[in-house]
Every structure is written in structure tokens, then in C-alpha cells.
Homo-oligomer: A and B are copies of this chain.
Amino acid sequence: MTATQDVLGTVDRLRRQVSDLHGELTRNELVVWTAGNISARVPGRDLMVIKPSGVSYDELTPENMVLTDLFGTAVDGGGSPSSDTDAHAYVYRHMPAVHGVVHTHSTYATAWAARGEAIPCVLTMMADEFGGEIPVGPFALIGDDSIGRGIVDILDGHRSTAILMKNHGVFTIGKDARSAVKSAVLCEEVARTVHISRQLGELLPIPQTDIDHLYQRYQNVYGQK
């Protein structure tokens, strides 16, 4: 098998994975209508696979996923990529370890974003997955690198794989698309739980050393070998 055949096989696999993973966004009620998208980097190539713009989740197929370069230009002659493609592409250009990006406007996380407030780490689930608070990024307009730069400025070197963009929504990153989806699911869950808890009184803080302990353990021990 030639290198070209090899990358084609990888792209086909990623098209299917990215298409299928959008089902987790609807199943977990992170999106309404067409307002959320997932991408995956093509390993070793300056390419990514991303949702097409404005297409309903139940019409997504491996074939209508869009293959773009890392500046968001479609390279496969198909449809228009997601209107958030620039942000995804910027992340892939500047964070080489990131192989998956997810964007949603999930309700509770976006509610924190509309106040520009970070989610404090008061749950062991947050310590496990995010290693501390979920931070806030700037208000940024769509149409240039502003959103991507806002994401990278905050998340590069940060433990959290999720960021709340002011007045906008959530971006999450991961070592692959599935990890980024997991981050998006857990981000909404902790956003909801912490919001609800704080409605009726003061939250109990978790000491930083305990947060560190939980984070280290979860990143190294959890799951099947």
C-alpha cells in the first residue's frame, strides 16, 4: 500500500468517526438545530476533517464531511465547511498535540460564558477531567483568527481541555476527536451541576493539593489498560 493510499484510508476513517461523533452531541443535548461542530486532524498531514456548514445532524454522513487544509480551505471539492472552521484550523496550527476540536453552545456552559465567569473546581469530576477551573476566553468575532487565538492563548499549557468563550459558547480540545467530545460532555455536566449548586448557597472549595492528586491519578490510572 502506498503512502497516498494510506492517508486516504485514514481520511475515510476520520470522516466516519467525525460524522458518527456528532451523534454524541445530540444524544447529550449539547446542540440544537445545526449549532455545534466537531473536527479531527489528519495525522502527519496539514489537513483536517470537519462538519459541513448548516447541515442538520441527521443528514450528516462520512461523505459530506469536509476535508480542509489547516487554513480552513476545502480541498476535496465538496460543500462549505463549518462557519467555525477558522477557529478549529488555528488550534491545529498552534497546538500540535491536539487532534480533535469540538465547538458547542451547550446551555449551562454558555450561561457561564454570558457572564464571562470561569467554572470553579468544586467537584471531583472536574478535578479528574479538567484539573481545576474551566477558564474563560475573550469575546471574539467570527471571520478571522480572533476566536482561534483566544482559545490557544488560554488553553496552551493549561490543564483544562475546555474553554468558555465570552457571550458565545464552548470549545474543547483533545488528543483525538472522541476525547474532545468527552470534554464537551463533561464540561456541560459540571457547568450544570455547579450552577445548580450555587443557586442555593456557598460552594465547598476543594483544596488545591487534592485537585492535583485527583487530576494526576485520573490522567494515569482510569480506564482499561
Interface residues of chain A, those whose CB is within 8 Å of chain B, are 28, 32-33, 35, 52-55, 79-80, 83, 105, 107-108, 110-112, 114-117, 122-125, 139, 141-143, 166-169, 182, 185-186, 189, 192-204, 206, 210, 213-214, 217, 221-225
Contact = CB atoms under 8 A, between A and B. Distances in A.
20 contacts: A28-B32, A33-B186, A80-B225, A105-B125, A108-B196, A111-B194, A111-B199, A115-B197, A115-B201, A115-B203, A117-B201, A123-B168, A139-B204, A139-B206, A141-B210, A142-B214, A195-B196, A195-B199, A199-B199, A199-B200
A204 B54 contact: no
A219 to B, nearest CB: 12
Contact of A206 (B167, B201, B204): B167
Report how many copies the assembly holds.
Answer: 4
A186 B197 CA distance: 19
A104 to B, nearest CB: 11
A204 B166 contact: yes
- Interchain residue pairs A-B with the least CB separation, the first 6: A54-B223, A111-B197, A114-B197, A111-B196, A124-B168, A32-B189
